[in-house]
């Protein structure tokens, strides 16, 4: 990535800022477009240590002028800006539509108008699948999202594939599983519950487990996600592909919580009924089949949940004041 001109939308958020740190280390010329919305994780401290090496544009993917300014002269775009709450997407569907679908389309149109061959890496979600008919789930599984967020993220993915086939964009979509790690927002549980559970445990609070906690989830450390994003940007073979990004190692929800409490050395948990707004959109077990991304990009996850939790907890103990 040395010398490459790169745009990260949502670059002050969780995955985007971790990606920015990695790209700066590799010598890339990084530009960030972010609307500084704190509820979705934008945090100036996320770019601590690289602020002077990153060009920051405060703007919105829904504003054509901001987007056209952001895409000028870039070679690679990582599109990670999004409305990210499953629950909020159900109560504010038109806002979700505006950001996740229309915002993506505005970004793609800016790329088309600018011309040239741009690598475009789209941040999709495991929520696009909805409730599974088989598991592990591969990329051929039918898409039937159970929330508005999943519908609009699917629309963004399809826009990306259309612009790839019709206009020469080098697009690829990564359907990302439950990601955790440093630089995630810690103020509310609307998304990224694993990280929020770390906050509760560090504060010696009670962690609620919905139902009996037997539902399987696929947790992946953010550093592994960043590696996959970078590999996708480097690869011409990934163009036009949709790839699952997960650990491939299922874990019951309650076991994940038990590990957090054990590693933190504080906190506790209790079983509670599913809130109605969560029950309506619950997808059941999810485990990703990652054989395709391994085959195309040579990627595989390297960080175990235990190691990832230790790294994450250590980060928040050190930088508690910037995230609580």
Pairing of strands 251-252, 216-217: antiparallel
CA 278 to CA 150: how far, in whole Å? Answer: 14
Q: Where is 294: in which H helix or E strand?
A: helix 291-297
CA-closest candidate to residue 126, choices 104, 145, 105? 145
Is 122 tagged catalytic? Answer: no
Number of H helices, E strands in the chain: 12, 13
Quote the strand ranges of 191-238, DSSP E: 206-210, 216-217, 219-221
Residue bearing tokens 């919905």:
210
CA-closest candidate to residue 181, choices 310, 91, 83, 279? 310
Angle at 308 between CA 254 and CA 255, to 5 degrees: 10
The neighbouring-strand residues paired with 8 are 32, 78
CA-closest candidate to residue 155, choices 177, 168, 131, 173? 173
CA-closest candidate to residue 143, choices 121, 162, 163, 125? 125
Selecting among 40, 122, 149, 221, the annotated active-site residue is: 149
Q: What is the DSSP letter of 53?
A: G
User: Catalytic positions, please?
Assistant: 149
């Amino acid at each position: 990535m040395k010398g490459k001109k790169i745009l990260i939308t949502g670059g002050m958020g969780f995955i985007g800022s971790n990606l920015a740190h990695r790209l700066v280390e590799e010598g890339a010329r990084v530009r960030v477009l972010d609307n500084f919305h704190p509820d979705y994780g934008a945090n100036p401290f996320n770019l601590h240590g690289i602020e002077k090496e990153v060009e920051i544009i405060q703007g919105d993917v829904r504003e054509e002028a901001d987007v056209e300014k952001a895409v000028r002269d870039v070679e690679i775009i990582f599109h990670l800006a999004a409305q990210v709450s499953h629950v909020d997407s159900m109560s504010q569907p038109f806002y979700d539509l505006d950001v996740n679908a229309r915002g993506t389309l505005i970004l793609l149109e800016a790329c088309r108008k600018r011309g040239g061959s741009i690598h475009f890496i789209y941040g999709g979600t495991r929520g696009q699948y909805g409730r599974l008919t088989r598991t592990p789930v591969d990329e051929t599984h039918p898409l039937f999202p159970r929330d508005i967020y999943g519908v609009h993220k699917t629309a963004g993915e399809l826009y990306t594939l259309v612009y790839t086939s019709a206009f020469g964009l080098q697009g690829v979509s990564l359907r990302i599983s439950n990601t955790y790690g440093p630089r995630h927002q810690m103020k509310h549980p609307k998304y990224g519950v694993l990280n929020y559970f770390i906050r509760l445990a560090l504060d010696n609070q009670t962690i609620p487990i919905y139902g009996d906690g037997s539902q399987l989830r696929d947790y992946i450390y953010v550093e592994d996600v960043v590696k996959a994003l970078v590999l996708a940007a480097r690869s011409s073979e990934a163009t036009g592909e949709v790839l699952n990004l997960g650990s491939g190692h299922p874990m019951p929800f309650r076991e994940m919580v038990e590990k957090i409490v054990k590693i933190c050395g504080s906190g506790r948990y209790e079983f509670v009924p599913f809130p109605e707004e969560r029950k309506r959109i619950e997808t059941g077990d999810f485990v990703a089949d990652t054989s395709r991304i391994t085959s195309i990009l040579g990627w595989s996850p390297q960080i175990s949940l235990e190691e990832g939790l230790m790294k994450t907890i250590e980060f928040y103990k050190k930088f508690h004041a910037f995230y609580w």
